[in-house]
Structure 1
Amino acid sequence: MPLDRRRLIGSSLVALAAGPARAGTPPGREPPTSRPAGSLELAIAADASSTPTGLAIARGGRMFVMMPRFTGAEPVTLGEVLPDGSVKPYPDAAANRPDPKAPHATLFHVPNGVFDRDDTLWVLDAGLPEGKGTPVPGGAKIVAIDIAQNRILRSIPLEAGVVAQSSLNDLRVDRRDGRSLAYVTDQGQAGAGAILAVDLDSGRVVRRLDGHPSTRSEDGLVKFVERRPVMERKGDARPKSPKGGANGIALSPDGTRLYYAPLMSRRLYAVDTAALRDPDIPEATVAAAVRDLGEKGMTGGLTTDAKDRVYLSLQEHNAVGRRLPDGTVEVLAADDRLIWADTFWITPDRWLYISAAQVNRRPEFNRGEDLQRPPYAILRMRIDANPVI
């Protein structure tokens, strides 16, 4: 590692460990709040080679991050975080070299992944060649990986559920009580989203709520992160808000309900999973069953606990929120290190982890300048409930 990079990482680690800054506020003079937010602690600083949007943690503690290829030049899209914070290609470097001639065996653009109860790692590959454009034929897929043997077990094609403007984003897997199912959000490259319901045994893929208001990017919204609007800025062109349809998803504890939200929206939605995956149910019937659960802030990733509470990555507030079953939204913790709060993970010992992806610092939002500063913080806090899966 070159000396200048060691210094950069070292200074970043000091800043991460120091906790949230309160510049300009004398000690003991913080403004009063009606309900003080809790605190987060630094679990690890991941020295990822590019933007780590996804996070998954095995029952034994092994940690994995997913780094979408936003430009196509990123060297690694799926990595394992080692105890010293370094990130190695996973399952190996060869699998991370995208090959259009072997689309089922190599990884193109991985935004997220999850573990099931058997500790199999399920990875979503959007199959995008350069973060955009038509998905590579055969490239959009769900990949099952045996982490004990560090090898790919199988690949389930998603081609039947993608369109030319697809941008698959988030994944949930439900393998229990004889079920073997997956749900995938498609945020769309122009904001027109959808949800894919996948039978992992048969490989059947059903595309649902395509272009429905609950899966579409809302117009007229501006997202603020680190006290600045997140706007696409290219040359002298007028800045514009990014588009982002169906993004974060979460399953209810019994697997009968899917919570979801567009990236560019302040509302949370829910729909019955049985309706999503049954191809004989008319699309109009599925659309009529969608429930608008009200406002929840601007979020990225979602997750649920065993008490059916939905955790919210409150990106505008560098905070973790939680929606209770009665609709109440509470702020659990806030931390200036939580830059672009993204993916949650709940471990069996009741730690809630969340990644700070720094997406707002990417070049496309800063007139071509990359303001990301690795390592990337992965923070955590204690909660009072078990994970759903």
Structure 2
Amino acid sequence: MPLDRRRLIGSGLVALAAGSAQAGPAPAPSATPPAGREPPTSRPAGTLELAMAANAPSTPTGLAIARGGRMFVMMPRFTGSEPVTLGEVLPDGSVKPYPDARANTPDPKDPQATLFHVPNGVFDRNDTFWILDSGLPQGKGKPVPGAAKLLEIDITQDRVRRVIPLDAGVVAESSLNDLRVDVRADRALAYITDQGQGGQGAILAVDLASGRVTRRLADHPSTATQEGLVKFVELRPVMEQKGDAPAKHPKGGANGIAISPDGSRLYYAPLMSRRLYAVETAALRDPNVSDAALAAKVQDLGEKGMTGGLTTDSKDRVYLSLQEHNAVGRRLPDGTVEVLAADDRLIWADTFWITPDRWLYISSAQVNRRPEFNRGQDLQRPPYAILRMRIDADPVL
């Protein structure tokens, strides 16, 4: 998917392509440090280029790109008033409801045919589009009965083939967040993170053939918020602020998720945590493995920074959306973490996507600018940047 400059100019976003939409570029550093001062010791990161500037009607946290180049964004209904929760990004940057406006109009009387709160979606190796609907009525609260679901969509016909209910895996405080599918000749599986609304999350394992849903690790520290942790984005702490009430620490359990190339291991992390975890997928989806036995298989892979979305490549390297640094990181199989690129336009780095031609895309969701983190003031500034860089590996699936 080469960068089409006509797309960029057509969307009127030359300024965004050149640098931050909020501020001009920083002055170039002097080649010679002032007398008495040591030269900087930080190493420069790589660069990202603007692939698309999406004029999304609300916060686009999710991103998925079909093999033919069609681009989709997912816009969770944080308040319930958002007009669209799943959209296709058109060449001029505009976003249209997908598959249509009616499907994007939530109807509690027809919960499996309408979309309520879509945080993410992915394509499998057959280019089938899988959409996760959390079923939340207003971004929070008890999921609407029958509304939490997976949708299997054929994008060649823009038609929903099948709906898989997730009611068996959700609880009153569920907030399903991220999705990975593993569809191969011998398996058809999905894994979903539930970040929860009160700090404790879980992971759902779904057998796509039978529709069986298993909820696991619901009481494990690896799926829970790390209490008291502060995330800094754009040089400010991200705290829930409402009126004159004291600021509160946001909560967020199991959030980002990724899968190893052979499908044997799942990587995941809470939104409010600096740790990365892994667990065997076979144990995760086997209801005969006890909670205690499964907990014993969880691996703490160590520090990885404050992240949102995760993904993996064909070399089993985990990509990290380093939200505090407007950067893209990568964890190598030996545990080394490296910073690949940084860009001021990458505001609340969120969802990754790797295309077959080895472009790594990442969305800039601007979640930290939402009203709930700024005493009711909406500081988001559309369009939302979707950035990319070349990598040296293939996508996992």
Are the aligned partners of 1:12 and 1:373 in contact in 2 as well (CA < 8 Å)? no
Q: Which residue of 1 aligns with 2:27?
A: 25
Q: Tell me, yes or no, if structure 1 residue 145 matches structure 2 residue 145.
A: no
Tell whether the 8 Å contact from 1:248 to 1:301 is kept in structure 2 after alignment.
yes
Shift of 1:33: 4.3
Aligned counterpart, 1:216: 224
Residue 305 in structure 1 maps to residue 313 in structure 2: yes
Give the number of aligned pairs: 381
Question: Tell me, which stretches of 5 or more residues in structure 1 are unaligned?
Answer: 1-8
Q: Give, in whole Å, the separation in 2 of the partners of 1:143 and 1:10.
A: 33
1:189 alignment partner, one of 197, 218, 225: 197
Identify the residue that residue 4 of structure 1 maps to in structure 2.
Answer: none
1:387 aligns with 2:395: yes
Q: How far apart in 1 are the matches of 2:219 and 2:250?
A: 17
Alignment correspondent of 2:284: 276
For 2:362, the aligned partner's letter is I
Deviation, structure 1 residue 177: 2.7
> How far 1:151 sits from its partner (Å)?
0.9
Contact kept in structure 2, 1:185 and 1:249, CA below 8 Å:
yes
Give the counterpart of 2:240 among 232, 235, 244: 232
Q: What is the match of residue 259 of structure 1? A: 267
Secondary structure in 2 aligned to 1:80?
strand
Q: Distance in 1 between matches of 2:257 and 2:26?
A: 38
Any idea what SS the aligned residue of 1:234 has? coil
1:25 CA drift (Å)? 3.5
Kindly state the Cα deviation for residue 235 of structure 1 after the two structures are TM-superposed. 1.1
The answer to whether the aligner puts 1:346 opposite 2:369 as a matched pair is no
Identity %, equivalent residues: 81
The answer to whether 1:167 aligns with 2:175 is: yes
Q: Distance in 1 between matches of 2:55 and 2:219?
A: 37
The residue number in structure 2 matching 1:117 is 125
Among residues 77, 89, 97, which one is paired with 1:81 in the alignment? 89
Distance 1:261 1:286 in 2: 17
TM (norm. structure 1) is: 0.95
Cα deviation, residue 291, structure 1: 0.1
Q: 17-26 or 113-122: which moved more?
A: 17-26
Match of 2:330 among 322, 326, 346: 322
Whether contact under 8 Å (1:12, 1:375) holds in the other structure is no
Amino acid at match of 2:145: P
Q: Quick one: distance in 2 between partners of 1:74 and 1:96?
A: 10
In structure 2, runs of 5+ residues without a counterpart are 1-8, 34-38
Query: Which residue in the other structure is 2:214 paired with?
Result: 206
1:69 to 65, 69, 77: 77
Per the TM alignment, residue 301 of structure 1 is displaced from its structure 2 partner at its CA by: 0.0
Supply the AA of the counterpart residue of 1:327: G
Letter in 2 for 1:102: D
- Do the aligned residues in 2 keep the contact of 1:318 with 1:337 (CA within 8 Å)? yes
CA RMSD of aligned residues (A): 1.6
Displacement of 1:36: 1.6
